[in-house]
Chain A
Amino acid sequence: MSLSRLGGALKFDSVKVSQCSALVAKLWGPCIREVNTSSSNRAVAQHNSKPDWNRAVSEAEKIVGYPTSFLSLRWVLSDEIANVALHLRKLVGSNHPLLKTAKNLIYNGKNNMQAWGLIVLLVSKAAGHSPEIPDMEQDKAAGVLHSQRALAEVTEMIRTSHLVHKGLVNMNTRLGPGEPDDMMFGNKIALLSGDYLLANSCTELANLRNQELVELMSSAVRDLAEAEFLGERDEQNNPLPSRPLPHHQREEASEWDCVLSPLPMAGVSGCMGREWSARHVLAAGALLGKSCSAALKLAGHGQGLQTQGYLFGCHLALAWQAFLDLEAFSGPEPACFSLVGAPLAFTLEERPELYRYIEAGRRSVHDVDYHALYQAVLEGTGIEQTKHLQNEHVTRAREVLDSFPNCDARTALTNIIVAMLP
């Protein structure tokens, strides 16, 4: 699959971004909300103002049938999950992050990525499928294929498994009294639960009997694993940005026109904007992009549309990430925030001397003076640039959407995208 277009889209350094997103903002900024209201659909016609997130998601879920979460009855009835639930109870009162992960999975807030399976289904429905697909394979009421529904489930399982494994505690550095037993047990359960989800996604994928698809989705699992190794880390493996390099010392960036081979890392370290992109393409964009692409493959669409699907998922995930990064700076000052978020990345790019604050977090990100960094971000143009960045990715995602026929699923996707715009 050739992805030179993605390469073009994602290959940016900060200078180019600010220029081109200024252009993007000029072209799209004023009319973005109009696009949404002008599309003739009942879901949107009901409210002219920006649809809110929860409404956008619940409307969308109706469009593709029952909720997509794998935490459905089928899963609650599985022996292993029942086992995990039992063991989780033992962890209550301990400090293990697995509890937080579990909570985030169950309570459907704005931040969690439950909506990923939903996106895959909406893309499936919006793009339709080739007439050669036999009736038996279709979920007529929802307008998606059974195989696409299974794929959406796999996407969520892979995503969840990764989150759960990410939530392990590094026991080597942690020697609090009394804690090790709980933490060790929590790690055991977290590792096994993640493995269970991963194993199930292997089986579900195998059942789809499409080896190209298995290869594509397995490469997304690989990308997620790679994401945890990118750049510098504190002792709990929390990511830190790399030291910004002066422009003349930067490596030439290579094209990201690969899908099955791993993301090239040339020109990533020291270049804050590109590092942000690389990090989140690996950690989020690859999985959502490959899932969307795979959904189109299942529907019998050609290579060209599959590539568009990949771009859509990838850009949507990056826009989403930029949105999440901005959240820390939209309310009251938080106690801490992501050190690899886009606003801080742009601020570091402008003022490399701020990196001394980051260096204080080498042992633990909690040692960083968040207040100082927060102020620096507010003073600079980091937030503005992040909004431009988000806009650019939103625009790219919408370009793909525009190539789909106008239908309720397309409108739902548009609404979800619009709901996260600032």
Chain B
Amino acid sequence: MACLSSSRLCARVQDKLMCQFGQKVRRQTLFVKLKPPGPSPLRIFGKTCQRVTTCGPACGTSGTTVTGAVRRLASSMQSTSTGSLPDYGTQIVDPYRLLEDDLNGIYEDIRSELERNTNQPELNTIATYYFDGQGKALRPMVAILTAKAINYHVYGENSALLPSQRQVAMISEMIHSASLIHDDVIDQSDFRRGKPSVNVLWNHKKVAMAGDFILAVASMMIARLRSDEVTLVLSQVVTDLVQGEFMQLGSKETENERFAHYLTKTYRKTASLFANSVKAVALLSGADETTCELAFQYGRNLGLSFQLVDDLLDFVSSAHGMGKPTAADLRLGLATAPVLFACEKYPELNPMIMRRFQDAGDVEKAFELVHKSRGLEQTRFLARKHGLEAARLASELADSPYQKALVVTTDLVLNRIK
């Protein structure tokens, strides 16, 4: 049975079940916070997910067969007390829950794809290091979600996720990781995702080669999709990533050009991967040009919003929560949106930007000025603007849980705390 219709059907059946079941659980006052099985990406988006998960019942004693289904249902409904059919209009759809089955095992699949492609154990170890399931898997999630939303948009209820679209989701995460691995060598970072980064553990030549290896395997996977268009679209991502990295090396652009330079760099380094992988799944679904372009723009805006929030969090979150030290960008000599906005009020930041915060006290001074200015507020405003645009684009797709989840995703990205 087609993926979508079955899950929707299940949802209806279980909804009834849930009404009785939920009541029963309630009476027993078994409100326990759900713990997702295995390493789940859910806890990354702490705030939103708690809101969703706390309302679900956990049943250790009875009804084990329905637990999973109930849990899934519970997660996709904010309130179970009404007992009505799911109303997609008002509820919060947790995208990760919605795609649990599709995302399940995605890291394992990537790891085995890499493992199949080498007979050198150490290369395998380095290449699979960041695919330990601790990442947010945001890129694969967005790719699969968009794929399902667009499949629904084009084919209606009887549409299913294509295997090739899932491959694109894997490829997007692989390209992302390959670039992370090279970034680690370039930036000499010590920690990533809460563990020592690759460049600390292995020698740099090997780490660079491991990055090349992941890219090569990803390219082979792309080629096996046997679509000229998809290959072109995804190879653009790699070019953009490198060009973005070159832009980050810094040219001495004037103050006027600086913000445009920053936005282009942000597009190339972050948003291009979102935009083009989302476009690739749209192409694979056979959607028309307008829909593909819509997908692309959704990804682009979501990606820009994501990176703006990232740059913002670099100034506000604690070193512990982020998995990497704060003000890391300043320390690397990078002027991101909050600094560029702060510049308007505190022109003394200009020379610091030009010397890439290299003088003693520059980083601390800039950090302070950013907090005194409206830089963070303005950055959030810009991020929200792109988030809203992404949400608007998503709402043009046919109404479906996936389409709703695309809208929710823009919220997740904006409201994330790490």
Q: Which residues of A contact B (CB under 8 A)?
A: 79-80, 83, 87, 161-162, 165-166, 168-173, 184, 187-188, 191-192, 194-196, 198-200, 202-203, 205-207, 209, 211-212, 214-215, 218-219, 221-222, 224-226, 228-230, 235-237, 260-265
For A83, give the chain B residue with the smallest CB separation.
B246
Are A83 and B223 CB-contacts (below 8 A) given A206-B235, A229-B122? no
A219 touches B249 (CB 8 A): no
Q: Which residues B191-211 have CB closer than 8 A to chain A? A: 199-200, 203-206, 208-210
In the complex, which residue of chain A has the Cβ closest to the Cβ of B225?
A: A211
Binds A, one of B62-70, B226-234, B360-368: B226-234
Is B239 an interface position by the 8 A CB rule?
yes
Q: How far is the CA of A226 from the CA of B182 in the complex (A)?
A: 17
Interface residues of A, dominant DSSP: helix
Task: Jot down 13 A-B pairs with beta carbons below 8 A, ordered by A.
Answer: A168-B185, A172-B199, A192-B246, A199-B239, A206-B228, A211-B223, A211-B224, A211-B228, A218-B216, A222-B216, A225-B216, A230-B120, A260-B220
| Contact status B120-A229, CB under 8 Å | yes
Q: Which residues of A contact B235 (CB under 8 A)?
A: 199, 202-203, 205-206
Q: Quote the shortest CB–CB distance from A127 to chain B (angstroms).
A: 23
The distance in angstroms between the C-alpha atoms of A229 and B202, with both chains bound, is 12
Give Cα A279–Cα B49 distance, bound, in whole angstroms.
50
B242 near A: Cβ within 8 Å? yes
- For residue B236, CB closer than 8 A to chain A, the reply is yes
Chain B, range 249-287, C-beta contacts under 8 Å to A: 249, 251
By secondary structure, the B interface counts as: helix
> Is the CB of B219 closer than 8 A to any CB of chain A?
yes
B203 touches A214 (CB 8 A): no
Known: A199-B239, A235-B203, A265-B120. A171 touches B188 (CB 8 A): yes
A13 to chain B, nearest CB (A): 19
User: Using a Cβ cutoff of 8 Å, how many contacts connect chains A and B?
Assistant: 161
B106 part of interface (Cβ distance < 8 Å): no
Q: How far is the CB of B174 from chain A (nearest CB, A)?
A: 12
**Closest A-chain residue to B207, C-beta based?**
A168
The verdict on B340 contacting chain A, using a C-beta distance below 8 Å, is no
Cα A140 to Cα B234 with chains together (Å): 33
* CB-CB nearest in chain A for B203: A170
List of A residues within 8 angstroms of B206 by Cβ: 228-229, 237
Asked if A226 contacts B203 (CB within 8 A), the reply is no
* CB within 8 Å for A198 and B203 given contacts A80-B246, A165-B208, A226-B120: no
B338 to chain A, nearest CB (A): 25
A226 with B119: CB separation less than 8 A: yes
Closest Cβ of chain B to A151, distance in Å, is: 14
